[in-house]
Structure 1
Amino acid sequence: MKFLTTLALCALVATAHAADPEYPKQGPDLYDTQADGTAQIAAALTQAKAEHKHVLLKLGANWCIWCRRLSEAFHRHDAVAQKLAADYVVVLIDMNQRDGRKRNLAVNERYGNPIQNGYPVLLVLDADGNLLTTQETGALEDGGKGHDPEKILAFLRRWAPAR
């Protein structure tokens, strides 16, 4: 009985530890540090094809304040959130490099090194997986400490699937 109690306690500690954010001072993780970006994209393409949408890839890292600000803009502004829901399958792909390991390096290589100019970067794919555009997100900023919802909407409208 003691063994089972100890085993259960160890499992609880391991589960709690796995849920800890990668950078606790930044808050909860946005990006799944364990996810395979190639598999995430494949699943998103299947969904996009079924729903007649495009795929919006947001490449970044959990430590990136601008990644967090862009995600906040995606959720905080109703028009942006509605446009995303209507026309895109959104996928956040962790591109962090930590402990000598570059996460999801194959995704970066597949799309021509979009992270070369920093995080976050947006990629739009059609439902067949063809890259339509790459957008560095500095162009979507508001000149202050966030992103301009009108600039985001203009970008989303431009690359939305034809209906």
Structure 2
Amino acid sequence: MKQSVLIALVLVLGFGFIVFQVATTAGTAVEWQTDFAKAQNQANQQGKYLLLNFSGSDWCVWCRRLNDEVFSQPEFKTYARQHLVLAVADFPRYQHLPENLKRQNERLKATYGVKGFPTVILFNPKGEFVTQTGYQHGGAAAYVKHLKAFIEK
């Protein structure tokens, strides 16, 4: 009898933890657009700034650090959901991108003079260039503060 109660208690607690984890993760999810024109339109309609991340997602160490230390953190996600539309122009070496996405990303790279990765470009809601930046030490809170300095000018 005691063993059955113990097993039931463990199962209930385990299930509760899983539900909590899923709810927490779902609440912090942010969407990264790959279609730049769509992202620009969304930023304009919502009155948000557009953050365009030029990345080499499967080979660039600093791009991975930016993702791990900043973009995947709850502090950044919370800020981004409220103030930003996120777009990525990825330049992977080992993963296949559709041709139209490759062409779009190459055009964006040439248009904005991107020479290295990661490069992050911030646009105002009207689509006007605000600044170009990249990886910054200090984690998500420091990066949000860094972005706010440009947005709140």
How would you bin the TM-score normalised by the shorter chain? 0.5 to 0.7
Which runs of no fewer than 5 residues in structure 2 stay unpaired? 1-31
Output the CA distance in 1 between the equivalents of 2:67 and 2:93.
20
- Please, which of 130, 133, 158 is the counterpart of residue 149 of structure 2? 158
Cα displacement string for residues 89-145 of structure 1 (whole angstroms, at most 9, x for unaligned residues): 0111113468xx9x422101211x12x2x21110001222211100032xx124xxx
Q: Provide the residue aligned with 2:90 in structure 1.
A: 94
Amino acid at match of 2:123: L
Preserved contact between residue 121 and residue 132 of structure 2 (Cα < 8 Å): yes
Preserved contact between residue 75 and residue 141 of structure 2 (Cα < 8 Å): no
Preserved contact between residue 52 and residue 161 of structure 1 (Cα < 8 Å): no
Determine if the alignment matches structure 1 residue 47 to structure 2 residue 42.
Answer: yes
Preserved contact between residue 58 and residue 122 of structure 1 (Cα < 8 Å): yes
Q: Provide the residue aligned with 2:5 in structure 1.
A: none
Output the CA distance in 2 between the equivalents of 1:108 and 1:94.
10
Preserved contact between residue 56 and residue 63 of structure 2 (Cα < 8 Å): yes
Question: Equivalent residues in 2 for 1:60-79 (5 A)?
Answer: 60-62=55-57, 63-72=59-68, 73-76=70-73, 78-79=74-75
Cα offset for 1:161?
6.6
Preserved contact between residue 54 and residue 161 of structure 1 (Cα < 8 Å): no
Cα offset for 1:69?
2.1
Q: Provide the residue aligned with 2:22 in structure 1.
A: none
What's the TM-score once normalised by structure 1's chain length? Answer: 0.59
Residue identity (%) = 21
Which entry has the higher C-alpha Rg, 1 or 2? 2
Amino acid at match of 2:107: A
Secondary structure in structure 2 of the residue aligned to 1:129? coil
